[in-house]
Structure 1
């Protein structure tokens, strides 16, 4: 199978170019690492295949609208001041993906 045919069939199956698909997979993996680990952004960039941290940050921002550090901070669960003790509120839930201040 030729490279052109492979790319065309891949695009038909996924509606994405192979290049964009790989980028999105890497960004998805980096999101998971940002939330599940305390690893620095530089280390995460390397883990997902980007040696150039500046390029990774620009690409992450292009896909998410935020830098990795800002995105990590906005995705952290915030303790709720009123309500049941120990409960948390997702600052992004119900806001269309935009963090909102927690009432207090």
Structure 2
């Protein structure tokens, strides 16, 4: 079973891959920028440098870092838990939805 963290990472990667549909490449910088924007916090290990971020991403099932700069997900299907993972992102930074 996937953790909420794994679901959050893959949900964000899935959304970003749609934004870059012309080449499907999501850069590490783009991923980190949107993670901070959506969660209001740094990605785990970001304060310890690039290699620590890559290490964290390798721990996420079905994620892959290639060319030492781009991130992809493999065999992705939208899970039923996607709304839960977005809630997880919001809970990290204490973000509230506008009603």
Give the structure-2-normalised TM-score. Answer: 0.32
Query: Rg bigger for which structure?
Result: 1
Greater share of strand: 2
TM-score by length of 1: 0.31
The higher-RCO structure (CA 8 Å, 6+ apart) is: 2
